[in-house]
Chains A and B, each alone.
Chain A
Amino acid sequence: MKKAISILLLCALMVGLCVGMSGCGSKQETTKIGVILYNFTDIQGKEIQAYCDYLKANFPVEFVYRAVGSNDEDHISGLQDLLSQGCKAIISGYDTALSKSIAMCEEAGCYYVVALGSVSAVEFPAPDYQPTPVEGIESKYFLGGTTQFGGDPAAVGVAYAQKAAEAGLKHIGAITFPTFAFAEGQAIYEAFKATLAQLNPDAEVYDLQEFMFTQELCNAEVTALISNHPEVDAVLGLGSGLDFIRPALQAQNRADIKLLALGYNDTVQSLMESGSVITAGTNNYTQITASCFARIYDALNGNSYADRTAEDLNAVVGYPVILSMDDLADFQQIVVAADKANSSITVDELKSVMVTTNKDATWAALNELTSRDVAAIKAARG
């Protein structure tokens, strides 16, 4: 009995000590911003991290990175970790468990923005598919989503169709991510199909196939495509064409099949030179990160855009496409520039569209800046 009491006292003492200590934590001068992605090893992760480093050098912020799985549980655990670490804002790649995430951020007094996709205020859940408002969307802690492709995914489809017609491709398969993850895929596909039909009536575009994010499943779709349509000569690779679909083609020993890809990695240069890859492209991660950061920075400082309404749920960012070797050169020089000071958005440009640093900044100006195409950026650089 005595032993139990003495141990209990010891514990209470220690807990008291620790709690007391927690109050004397060193005051942080920089604000912590958490970043959640599936991984940081692909072009997306690396680019975002690179721009964050650039931001860190120029603003009183620091970034904490967390890689999580695609299911709700992993996402929430990762988010919880970041919140526990004291992050005051979160840049999340995805809208996984959105309502729950917003609720958790609200509880912790932290801002939340979705970087790699748009969100809608209304959803249509099974089984009756009735429109129901997404919980938490109106929260002041939720800073919105990000619409990609400059808001016009069809344009990409059109551009790619033109290149396809030029290259004389006749039998084209199409593989993408499921709609819930990549809503624009469908639009790009439709535009591509329609345009190609006009430009080259002989060409055939097969039905759109989907796979769920793993290499094995991608391989399965590619195998299916080749066995169903042995005459296929190109693939419209909308689901990370270079990271997933190209390796799948190689696995099937059909590296001869050309690729019209959404995606980019280090192999693009040699593949475009050899003609294996006809088109490529990515989100402009600099623009994405800048857009998220702008919203976060203003929110942290208590500012907001005068011209942003409740309907303006999502910001807009551009999607540079690479249709030729020249495009590639520009892309490498500007979009994925190693020195972010010469990239798509410089610090000064960014400051001009944030209310905190420029009281005349507007929501429209922000979105315009973040959806500039490569030509426009080139011009701005002079």
Chain B
Amino acid sequence: MKKERTMPSEAPEQSAGKLRSLWEQLISDRNSFIRYGGFAVVLLVFALSTGGRLFSSYNLKVLMSQITPLLIMSVGMVFIFAHGGMDISVGAVSGLCSLVSVYVLNATGSVLAVLLVSILLAVLCYSINCLISEFFGLMSTISSLAIMFAARGIITFNVAQTSEAIRIQQTKLLSVFSDSYLFMALACVLAVLVTWFLFSFTKLGKQARAIGDNPLSARQSGANVNLVKLLCYVVAGVCIGFASVFSIARVGSVSENIGSGREMDVIIAVILGGMTLSGGCKSRISSAVIGSITFVLLSNGLSLSGVSSLYVSLIKGALFLIIVFLTLRQNKNVLELPR
């Protein structure tokens, strides 16, 4: 079989050839196409439909405050998706962390204590999630369901105890998390740098991706599968614990359904960022970053354009299906593979 690989033509029509090959590259690398293309489309569509209000100085601040927690959670969750895991407890766990944060803050007044407790609690929840899955041989979705119910139950129980809302007393303490846009930006940058480093330059990230593609081979190539998965969950826990401090700072009080639905936001965000949910070598931190921004632009843009919140969920769901469909099609398009 003559192996004639397509080289981008260096012949006469250089620019046309290069343009065509760029297009072909984009199509074949579907994930990148969705990631950047999706972002561009959403940006353009909503910039137009809101008459530029999307970028009013007030709205930019709103965007920043919405992007920060989502982005931090998503970059952490990439570790779980990369190794082929799935988690739907994000919302409940982050809500639980917010709840406990309020108690800790009211009791001690220390922001550091809040950060520590929030992060440790999230890491605990996620570690238990992972251990249940490994110990009982359950699918990661099922064990996360268990954690989700447990956490949600604790929240509901606590909220029902008092007729008053569970509220932060000294709101000034966490104001840097809700009002300082510089701090939010720095937090995002920090989260991205740390997770990108762990994901791309350490054993953890590489082995996680290998496990996502083929756990058997990863194991025989020296990866301690159980340990790697646990560490991935720990990283995710840290990010979620950190992000929930931003969430609670913004609202200041805890209601029964705090954080509900967050897990779907994270999943849709990474999908919009071009990540395949089955993980593997194509997983990237940039999916979470770009995807989170696209998602917030989408949400925010829709409500600014006057779309009722009922339709927003519908639209998000439809988008989710379309993109999953597009990434699936990738395999079908390569007509026939030689046997």
Contacts and interface: CB of A to CB of B under 8 A. Distances in A.
Contact of B252 (A7, A23, A72, A178): A72
Interface string B167-209: 1010100000001000000000000000000000000000000
B62 A14 contact: no
B257 A71 contact: yes
B51 interface: yes
Interface string B242-277: 000000001111011110000000000000000000
Given A3-B22, A72-B165, A99-B171, A22 B53 contact: yes
Nearest to A17: B47
Interface in A314-341: none
Contacts of B257: 71
Contacts of B62: 80, 83-84
B292 to A, nearest CB: 15
Interface in B132-178: 162-165, 167, 169, 171
Nearest to A82: B303
A364 interface: no
B164 A126 contact: yes
B255 A71 contact: yes
Contacts of A71: 165, 253, 255-257
Interface in B27-82: 32, 36, 39-40, 43-44, 47, 51-56, 58-59, 61-62
A86 interface: yes
A180 B52 contact: no
Contact of B52 (A14, A23, A97, A107): A23
Given A18-B54, A22-B56, A84-B300, A72 B47 contact: no
Interface in A92-142: 97, 99-100, 107-108, 125-126, 135
Contacts of A126: 162, 164
Interface string A1-37: 0010011001100110111011111100000000000
Nearest to B290: A11
Interface residues on A, range: 35 or more
B163 A180 contact: yes
Given A84-B62, A180-B164, A14 B43 contact: yes
Contact of B169 (A22, A73, A84, A125): A125
Q: Which of A81, A84, A100, A180 has the most CB of B within 10 A?
A: A84
B36 A73 contact: no
B217 interface: no
A97 B252 contact: yes
Contacts, number: 98
Contact of B251 (A10, A76, A85): A76
Contacts of B251: 72-73, 76, 97, 100
Interface string B65-109: 000000000000000000000000000000000000000000000
A191 B155 CA distance: 39
B40 A11 contact: yes
A108 B58 contact: yes
Contacts of A125: 164, 167, 169
A114 to B, nearest CB: 17
Interface in A39-64: none
A152 B204 CA distance: 69
Contacts of B32: 3
Given A73-B251, A97-B252, A99-B171, A22 B52 contact: yes
Given A71-B256, A84-B300, A76 B56 contact: no
Given A15-B43, A25-B52, A72-B255, A84 B164 contact: no
Interface string B203-230: 0000000000000000000000000000
B304 interface: yes
Interface string A185-198: 00000000000000
Which of A14, A19, A73, A74 has the largest number of chain B CB atoms within 10 A? A73
Nearest to A18: B47
B40 A10 contact: yes
A97 B58 contact: no
Nearest to B260: A73
A26 B47 CA distance: 14
Contacts of A76: 250-251
Given A81-B304, A126-B162, A72 B253 contact: yes
Contacts of B61: 107
Nearest to A135: B171
23 contacts: A3-B22, A3-B32, A6-B22, A10-B40, A11-B43, A14-B44, A19-B52, A22-B52, A25-B51, A25-B53, A71-B253, A81-B303, A81-B304, A84-B53, A84-B303, A85-B53, A86-B53, A97-B251, A99-B171, A126-B164, A178-B163, A180-B163, A180-B164
Given A7-B36, A97-B253, 11 more contacts: A14-B43, A18-B52, A21-B47, A22-B54, A72-B251, A85-B53, A85-B304, A97-B251, A100-B171, A107-B61, A178-B163
**Closest 8 pairs between A and B when the two form their complex, measured CB to CB:** A22-B52, A71-B255, A18-B47, A22-B55, A72-B253, A21-B52, A84-B59, A73-B251
Interface of B: 22, 25-26, 32, 36, 39-40, 43-44, 47, 51-56, 58-59, 61-62, 162-165, 167, 169, 171, 179, 250-253, 255-258, 300, 303-304
